[in-house]
Amino acid sequence: MTTAISSTFERLRSEGRLAFMPFVTAGDPDLTATVRLIRELAGKNVDLIEVGFPYSDPIADGPVIQASYTRALEHKLTVRQIFDAIAGLPKDGTPPLVAMVSFAIIFRHGPETFVQEAKEAGFAGFIVPDLPGDEATEFFGLTQKHGLDLVQLVAPTTPRERVKQVLASCSGFVYCIAVAGITGVREQVAENLLSQLEWLRQETDLPLAVGFGISRPEHVDPLRERADGVIVGSGIVRHFQRVADGEADVDAVLEQIGAFAGEMVAAAHGSEE
Amino acid sequence: MSVATKNVPDASGRFGEFGRRFVPETLMHALDELGKEYERAKQDPEFRQRLELLLRTYVGRPSPLYFAERLTEHCGGAQIYLKREDLNHTGAHKINNTIGQGLLTLRMGKKRVIAETGAGQHGVATATACARFGLECVVYMGEEDIRRQRLNVFNMRTLGAEVRPVTSGSRTLKDATNEAMRDWMGSVESTHYILGSAVGPHPFPMIVRDFQSVIGSETREQCQERIGRLPDEVIACVGGGSNAAGMFYPFVEDDGVALTGVEAGGLGAEPGQHASPLSYGQPGILHGSYSYVLQDEDGQTQDVHSVSAGLDYPGVGPEHSYWKSTGRVQYTTSSDQDAIETFQTVARLEGILPAVESSHAIAHAMRAAKQRSSEDVIVVCLSGRGDKDVAEVARLTGQEI
């Protein structure tokens, strides 16, 4: 199945480039800012954007993203509002959008309804961090039926024998978690990551994208021969804390994120974009 | 409606349709390993003997089954017995589970333990087990609960545990659980998470239920000895539901024994006024498990309220959802007011200060007793002692200590 996500990776692969995929939290500080941010990132030629759906109890996310979720939910943000805001984005010039959303929210809405409405809004796929491969078969079928992708996560702790089962419910790309969560062990884990990427490459033809702990252009180079993309989440979302603290306005933050995205795109694409 | 069986969960953690594992991939391997180690431990006579010895000589089991004569007279009707988990070391049923999981931690060769706590009883029980076994211990606790349960915070620290205040969300148990899970994702190679209730992803609900089943198993034996038969009704309070799961599980296939779980009815039935997912919620996902939850229509977890820090949790163990769906256990509520009044009544009539959690169950038992004949026997799980709650009860009843 060719999807918006798979064709993006095919194009990048033929050009010998890595994908740069930023994560944004929907509704922090409000949806108008989120839409502007997505346009700003699109203008910097990012290859795909993950849109986080704020959830009250995000066990899969770190404190930076949780704080952004809390800020968004203070204004009673709803899923419907997120879909409406995304639907208002131009179809041309906006990279594929992937909804990063807890299964708690999908389940409450009804998986079929959620997938349909996400598709109508313009989403190309889903990352459901609390729906591991074992539980994802049914939801994967649903996304496939609607021509959308379901991205699965592979952790540093995922044993090789488990990966086949995880990948059976995965399309679009594989989200490879670079670190198990804490700081200070990155050097060592990075080595594990590189060897994991090597054996993952033998297990699947799907593109491999690395996230968690990637925050600077120089993090990209070691991954160039082994991965197909990099994801930055907290490194972008954290800027909005300054808006919440009254230290910066949205314009200034958008400009700063835009400049950062430009550097990351240049690093990922290996060019001076 | 299918008939409830004790033969749950299955290998994928299903209690009927409930339970399972809705967690990040980072934790899946650890959950698999934990499940395998637990199965090995269960088959290992040495593990079982060590656990049994510790329960007897350290925890103080078996806990007595006490006939609450004056309470029975006061209510009129069925005879009320109290299963005295409040007499366990550390003053609550929580120690049954933490000793068991502490031994599992040793088996797995892990040196560090994390836990979450609401009322603090699980935190104290975990800190106690860690002290006993020489394990490093970090307990996550919401700031609001730290305020309500200062005595237990002091006890945990005295026992050598680090208490980490949680300032996110509602600053209560659910937020402490989020934080503990997040810690575990980054430390899973060296750390065991001693979950305190029969909630969370498989195999936790099964492990906690099994370690707590000693309560119901003893009650069965003690009833046979004391009254020559099984009781007519067994009642327990339900927050996450571990004391109730441990109390009910050994009776599940005894059709003649009515089982009643009592949730925190708080101030009323409106969202945010109670902590009763089985009574007012619907099936959903929270903290890695599919079970009854309190969510708004957009899937966000609702605020909960209870006078008891140990009960104000928006979810419940998946086995309770299974028991509800099969009709095997009836679930009802007692209000804050009921619980406080019962706390005072039991203190004056029986010389026992029950935990405010347990007071919810006893409050319902007092109502149920009135509807039954004096031949009938009701057993209530007195899940913990109320020392920790006295400051809060004093505050709520306008008294000074």
Q: Does B10 reside within a domain?
A: no
Chain B residues within an 8 Å CB radius of A105:
298-300
Q: Which of B369, B63, B93 is nearest to B231 (CA)?
A: B369
In whole angstroms, give the CA distance from residue B180 to residue B193. Answer: 8
In whole angstroms, give the CA distance from residue B139 to residue B178. Answer: 12
Residues B331, B336, B340: CA angle, nearest 5 degrees: 115
Give the single-character DSSP code of A134: G
Residues B292, B296, B299: CA angle, nearest 5 degrees: 75
Total domains in the fold of chain B: 2
Name which of A53, A56, A188, A200 to mutate to probe chain B: the one with the most chain B Cβ atoms within 10 A of its Cβ: A56
Q: Between helices B121-133 and B150-158, what is the axis angle to 10°?
A: 10
Say if residue B125 is in the same domain as residue B177: yes
Please indicate if any CB of chain B lies within 8 Å of the CB of A162.
yes
Q: Does B238 reside within a domain?
A: yes
Instruction: Enumerate residues 6+ apart whose C-beta is below 8 A from A197.
Output: A176, A208, A210, A223, A226, A227
Residues A115, A235, A56: CA angle, nearest 5 degrees: 45
Say if residue B111 is in the same domain as residue B193: yes
Chain A residues within an 8 Å CB radius of B169:
56-57, 70
Chain A residues within an 8 Å CB radius of B186:
179-182
For residue A184, what pLDDT is reported? Answer: 34
Beta bridge partners of B328: none
Say if residue B49 is in the same domain as residue B149: yes
Q: What is the pLDDT of residues B19-73, one digit of tens each?
A: 999 999 989 999 999 999 999 999 999 999 999 999 999 999 999 999 999 999 9
> Which residue in A70, A162, A181 is closest to B185 by CB distance?
A181
Beta bridge partners of B379: B81, B234
State which of B204, B238, B271 marks the end of a domain.
B204
For residue A185, what pLDDT is reported? Answer: 37
- Contact: B22, A180; criterion CB under 8 Å: no
For residue A182, what pLDDT is reported? Answer: 39
In whole angstroms, give the CA distance from residue A18 to residue A209. Answer: 9
Please indicate if any CB of chain B lies within 8 Å of the CB of A106.
yes
Judge whether A134 counts as a catalytic residue: no
- Contact: A107, B299; criterion CB under 8 Å: yes
Chain B residues within an 8 Å CB radius of A59:
23-24, 178, 181-182, 185, 287-288
State which of B163, B178, B204 marks the end of a domain.
B204
Give the gap in angstroms from C-alpha A54 to the nearest C-alpha of chain B.
Answer: 9
Q: Between helices A31-43 and A79-87, what is the axis angle to 10°?
A: 40
Say if residue B243 is in the same domain as residue B173: no
Chain A residues within an 8 Å CB radius of B10:
none
Say if residue B144 is in the same domain as residue B280: no
Q: Does B6 reside within a domain?
A: no
Q: Does B382 reside within a domain?
A: yes
Selecting among A30, A61, A149, A228, the annotated active-site residue is A61
- Contact: A166, B25; criterion CB under 8 Å: yes
Say if residue B246 is in the same domain as residue B390: yes
For residue A222, what pLDDT is reported? Answer: 86
> Which residue in B12, B285, B301 is closest to A107 by CB distance?
B285
Say if residue B389 is in the same domain as residue B258: yes
Instruction: Enumerate residues 6+ apart whose C-beta is below 8 A from A39.
Output: A89, A94
Q: Does B1 reside within a domain?
A: no
Judge whether A50 counts as a catalytic residue: yes
Chain A residues within an 8 Å CB radius of B185:
59-60, 180-181
Please indicate if any CB of chain B lies within 8 Å of the CB of A73.
yes
Say if residue B386 is in the same domain as residue B281: yes
Say if residue B157 is in the same domain as residue B220: no
Give the gap in angstroms from C-alpha A44 to the nearest C-alpha of chain B.
Answer: 31
Q: Chain B 23-42, CB below 8 Å of chain A: which residues?
A: 23-30, 32
The residue to which tokens 């148990």 are assigned: B173
Say if residue B256 is in the same domain as residue B156: no
- Contact: A152, B299; criterion CB under 8 Å: no
Q: Does B316 reside within a domain?
A: yes
Please indicate if any CB of chain B lies within 8 Å of the CB of A130.
yes
Give the gap in angstroms from C-alpha A122 to the nearest C-alpha of chain B.
Answer: 20
Q: Which of B163, B106, B152, B153 is nearest to B129 (CA)?
A: B106
Q: What is the pTM of this model?
A: 0.97
- Contact: A135, B284; criterion CB under 8 Å: no
Q: What is the pLDDT of residues B269-323, one digit of tens each?
A: 999 999 999 999 999 999 999 999 999 999 999 999 999 988 989 999 999 999 9
Residue A132 and residue B28 in contact, taking contact as beta carbons nearer than 8 Å: yes
pLDDT tens over chain A, length 273 residues: 899 999 999 999 999 999 999 999 999 999 999 999 999 999 999 999 999 999 999 988 888 899 999 999 999 999 999 999 999 999 999 999 999 999 999 999 999 999 999 999 999 999 999 999 989 999 999 999 999 999 999 998 899 999 999 999 999 999 999 876 533 334 444 678 889 999 999 999 999 999 987 888 888 888 988 999 999 988 899 999 999 999 999 999 999 999 999 999 999 998 644
For residue A271, what pLDDT is reported? Answer: 62
Length of chain B: 401
Chain B residues within an 8 Å CB radius of A155:
24-26, 28-29
Give the single-character DSSP code of B118: S
State which of B164, B180, B204 marks the end of a domain.
B204
Distances (CA, A) of B191 to B105, B107, B114: 8, 12, 7
Phi, psi values for residue B260, rounded to 5°: -130, 125
Please indicate if any CB of chain A lies within 8 Å of the CB of B171.
no
Selecting among A40, A50, A149, A228, the annotated active-site residue is A50
Interface confidence (ipTM) of the complex: 0.95
Selecting among B144, B306, B383, B392, the annotated active-site residue is B383
Q: Does B153 reside within a domain?
A: yes
- Contact: A182, B187; criterion CB under 8 Å: yes
Phi, psi values for residue B6, rounded to 5°: -80, -10
Phi, psi values for residue A227, rounded to 5°: -125, 170
Q: Does B4 reside within a domain?
A: no
Say if residue B117 is in the same domain as residue B265: no
Give the gap in angstroms from C-alpha B186 to the nearest C-alpha of chain A.
Answer: 4
> Which residue in A66, A103, A108 is closest to B22 by CB distance?
A103
Residue A18 and residue A265 in contact, taking contact as beta carbons nearer than 8 Å: no
Say if residue B134 is in the same domain as residue B218: no
CATH number of the domain at B354, please: 3.40.50.1100
Q: What's the gap between Cα A171 and its chain centre?
A: 14
Please indicate if any CB of chain B lies within 8 Å of the CB of A66.
yes
In whole angstroms, give the CA distance from residue B168 to residue B182. Answer: 13
Q: Which mean pLDDT values do the consecutive 10-residue runs of chain B (401 residues) have?
A: 92 97 93 96 98 98 98 98 98 98 98 95 97 98 90 96 92 90 89 97 98 98 98 98 98 98 98 98 97 97 93 96 98 98 98 98 98 98 95 92 86
Give the single-character DSSP code of B194: -
In whole angstroms, give the CA distance from residue A97 to residue A55. Answer: 18
For residue B401, what pLDDT is reported? Answer: 86
Residue-number span of the structural domain to which B72 is assigned: 57-91+212-397
B299 to chain A: nearest residue by CA?
A105
- Contact: A133, B21; criterion CB under 8 Å: no
Residue B54 and residue B99 in contact, taking contact as beta carbons nearer than 8 Å: yes
- Contact: A107, B185; criterion CB under 8 Å: no
